[in-house]
Amino acid sequence: MDIQQQQQQQKSGQDLNQKHQIFQDNFDFFFFVNTSSTNGFQVAKNFLTKEKNNDQQLQQQEKQFQEVPQFEEQQNGETENEMQEILYEHKVQHNLNEIRFQFPKKKNRNLKDKQDKIFVNVYFVDLLNKVQKQKGFQLMKQKEEEKYSQVRAVVCGGDGSIIWVIDEMINAKIQVANVAISAIAIGTGNDFCRAMGWGTETFDSIGGETLNMSLLKNLVDKMINSQIQDLDIWDIEIETGRDGYFQQIKGQNCKRKKMKLKDENGKIKNKIKHHMVNYFSIGLDAQIGFNFDNYRTNFRCINKLVYCWQGFKKLFVKKLRVDKILDSFKMKKTKKQKGKGKIVRLIFYVKEFLNYEIDEITDIDTQNTTQISKQSTDENNKNNLDNQHGHEHHCIFKSSEYMKRKEYQNLDIEQQQQEQEENGGHRYLTGDPINLICCNISSYCAGAQDIWGNCGNSGLQNKEKIRYNQNNEPFKESHHGDGQLEFMTFRNILEFIIERYKGGNGSRITQGSGPYEILFKEKDEDGKSIFTYFQIDGEYYKIIEPKMIKISHTQDVIGGKIKVMVNTEKAIKQKFQKFA
């Protein structure tokens, strides 16, 4: 190799390193829009382009540079020289509508100071357009692998759309841990947006008759400066009996009807598995949501009225009671699983660290990242073992009818005492509750905030009907990235409704990292087959002959966690109330 070639290679390497430095504070934002609702269509109206039949139409799209109004005055002491004008470019690229912003770098930004401007590409992707959706995730994968910029995903939809986008990212083999996720509230509940501090505004004016770049620019600016936190992802596996099945409301508006879930071969499913990021519940609130789905409209204000009406009707009819259908609720822990998550995450972070050293670039800026974990994996394991009293299977509660069964009555006194000790003294649900709720975030059912922290009493009692004292348990305030789930119940529908306006009506059951197993009874009191309702992240189902539910940290993403953008100024503040 001659001297000239060596100099060219050296220059090429320097150019590459310089390119990495230039782009490490730049961003690629992907706005994934669920256009099935009116709000979603309004947001997308001026930003989503349909599939073109030929490339000539794409080439005819002209670059349009327009001046956007200056930054509004900040209360952080910025000088007039820093109040620069922002340019944007609107064009069609990769068959997606792209908006390109140029921001001045402000003093308060937690970004590396290697350039005086920040360049942001914003791509809008229609989730219902199969071609555009495929190209959108392909482009995201390409951007994430190139590591020339920080990649962000913004979900424009309801709570169910969040996990939809995450699932699509996993299927596209995108390193989900390198992409921070946020959302714009377009659904009915919008609990994810509430919990992460992004509010419930629909941002209709972004895609209204006037192209409102100023509003879009301000939103992107806030997300760039948001705090990056962990969010746990969970697997929910549900299984029916031999003749059981699942139902879900399908269709649009007046054409909605109950449909049995079937696999690709048209066979009725008796087992399903879903990811969960927000919450999961069994019982009356899921029944209300299921009936609401039958009358859902494209208008959010009408949907709220429909939901309220469905809840109001349940005040005057016979309710589903979870104690009548649940047989037991257990937490399981195997020796092979202890510490496994910690080792996997350690390997991943070492690998990522080495990559960063080579590329001199971080996908999610470490100075802008807050790794929040109130308990390490070891501490979680210790708490679980303490709760289990040294046993691999800890029974959190059993059906109140258990001690009346022959299998218990046939045991001698010593065997009965031993079983009670192993199962925590036979705890039962108090108050004949209407539901069992499992939360991963701090908002539930369209705005009931921090149910776990506000709980007023224990939801468990012993055979003498004395409430179980939970003050001695290692329970703490919840957080969406602490590797734990919180379980609660409500005694009646009125308390459940009031919780949204005044907290403290729920009853605390347990908190932990699982995995959990919920078993159902085979028959009800009349000898008939059991049926009930459940929901996962606002997606409602009816289940006939339920058999078992398993809840565990997912293995589909590294460490069972993803990154989320949190607006800490408006995020729900949590607490932990001990009982009197």
Would you list the DSSP string of 518-531? EEE-SB-TTSPBPE
Q: Report the SS3 class of residue 460.
A: strand
Phi first, then psi, for residue 487 (nearest 5°) are -115, 135
Same domain (yes/no): 197, 283: no
177 and 289 together in one domain: no
Across the range 437-458, mean pLDDT stands at 90
Residue with tokens 């670039």: 361
What is the reported pLDDT for 422?
59
pLDDT at residue 346 in the model? 47
| H or E element, residue 218 | helix 213-224
Point out the domain boundary residue: 197, 225, 253.
Answer: 225
Domain membership flag for residue 327: yes
Q: Are 99 and 180 in a shared domain?
A: yes
* pLDDT range class, residue 88, cuts 50, 70, 90: very low
Confidence of residue 482 (pLDDT cuts 50, 70, 90): very high
Give 466's contacts (C-beta < 8 A, 6+ positions apart): none
Distance of CA 331 to the CA centre of its chain: 22
Both tokens of 210, joined, read: 């006037």
- More confident of the two residues 317 and 31: 31
DSSP state letter for 550? E
Query: Does 83 lie in the same domain as 203?
Result: yes
Residue 504, H or E segment? none
pLDDT score for 551: 97
For residue 478, pLDDT beyond 50? yes
Do β-strands 485-490 and 507-512 pair in parallel, antiparallel, or remain unpaired?
A: antiparallel
Confidence band (pLDDT; 50, 70, 90) for 4? low
What number is the average pLDDT over the span 83-102?
A: 54
At 531, the pLDDT band (50, 70, 90 cuts) reads very high
Q: What is the largest CA-CA distance in the chain?
A: 91
Strand 117-126 with 96-104, pairing: antiparallel
The pLDDT, as a whole number, for residue 524 is: 82
The residue with greater pLDDT, 337 or 177, is 177
pLDDT for 540: 92
Paired with 542 in beta bridges are 247, 533
What was the pLDDT predicted at 68? 33
CA distance 26 to 28: 7
Same domain, 275 and 144: no
Can you give the pLDDT at residue 195? 92
The answer to the question of residue 244 being in a domain is no
Residue 318 lies in a domain: yes
Answer yes or no: is 263 within a domain: no
147-156 as b/e: b if 16+ CB within 10 A: bbbbbbbbbb
Task: State the residue for tokens 């705090």.
Answer: 227
Cα separation of 339 and 219, whole Å?
Answer: 40
Q: What is the pLDDT of residue 313?
A: 64
Q: What is the pLDDT of residues 188-240, one digit of tens each?
A: 778 999 999 988 765 554 544 444 677 788 888 889 989 999 999 999 999 99
**Residue 298: is its pLDDT beyond 70?**
no
Residue in this structure with the two tokens 């080792």, named with its chain if needed = 343
Do 184 and 309 lie in a common domain? no
Per-residue pLDDT at 59: 38
Among the three residues 225, 246, 280, which one is the final residue of a domain in this structure? 225
Percent of the chain, pLDDT > 70?
A: 60
Tokens of 242: 């031999």
Confidence label for 361 from pLDDT (cuts 50, 70 and 90): very low
My answer on whether 165 and 287 are in the same domain is: no
Are residues 281 and 211 located together in one domain of the fold? no
The DSSP line for 242-276 is: EEEEEEEEESSGGG-EEEE-B-TTSPBPSEEEEEE
Residue 511, pLDDT score: 93
Least confident of 48-57, 119-128, 251-260, 462-471: 48-57
Q: What band does 319 get if pLDDT is binned at 50, 70 and 90?
A: low
Please, which residues have CB within 8 angstroms of residue 336's CB and are 6 or more apart in sequence? none
For the chain, the domain total comes to: 2
pLDDT confidence bin for 323, thresholds 50/70/90: confident
Of 304 and 241, more confident:
241
Give the pair of three-digit tokens for residue 96: 């997606």
Give the range of the structural domain holding residue 107, as residue numbers without chain letter.
18-225
Give mean pLDDT, residues 397-404.
Answer: 72
Question: Which of 112-121, 344-353, 425-434, 462-471 comes out lowest in average pLDDT?
Answer: 344-353
Residue 159 is predicted with a pLDDT of 87
Residues 393, 296 share a domain: yes
Q: Among 17-26, 260-269, 276-285, which stretch is predicted with the lowest mean pLDDT? A: 17-26
Lowest mean pLDDT among 12-21, 164-173, 175-184, 570-579: 12-21
> CA 377, CA 477: separation in Å to the nearest integer?
17
91/181 same-domain check: yes
**Which band of pLDDT confidence, cut at 50, 70 and 90, is reported for residue 105?**
low
Angle at 226 between CA 225 and CA 227, to 5 degrees: 125
Inter-residue contact 145 to 137 (CB < 8 Å): no
Pinpoint the alpha helices (H) of 410-525.
413-422, 451-454, 493-498
Residues 189 and 323 in one domain: no
pLDDT > 70? residue 167: yes
Which residues are CB-neighbours of 22 under 8 A, at least 6 positions away?
Answer: 114, 115
Is pLDDT at 388 greater than 70 in this prediction? no
Assess contact for 288 and 310: CB atoms under 8 A.
Answer: yes
C-alpha dihedral (165, 166, 168, 173), degrees to nearest 10 = 150
Confidence of residue 329 (pLDDT cuts 50, 70, 90): very high
Buried/exposed code over 494-526 (b: 16+ C-beta within 10 A; e: otherwise):
ebbbebeeebebbbbbbbbbbbbbbbbbeeeee
Q: Which of 166, 193, 225 is the last residue of a domain?
A: 225
Question: Mean pLDDT throughout 110-130?
Answer: 76
DSSP assigned state of 186: -
Same domain for 220 and 288, yes or no, is no
Residue 503 to residue 450: CA distance in whole angstroms: 8
Whether pLDDT at 176 is above 50: yes
What is the average pLDDT value for the chain, to the nearest integer? 73
Name which of 319, 364, 387 is nearest 24 in CA terms.
364
In the prediction, which pLDDT does 63 show? 36
Q: Which of 273, 341, 281 lies closest to 482 in space, CA to CA?
A: 341
In a domain, 253, yes or no: no
- Tell which residue, 347, 414, 297, has the closest CA to residue 558: 347
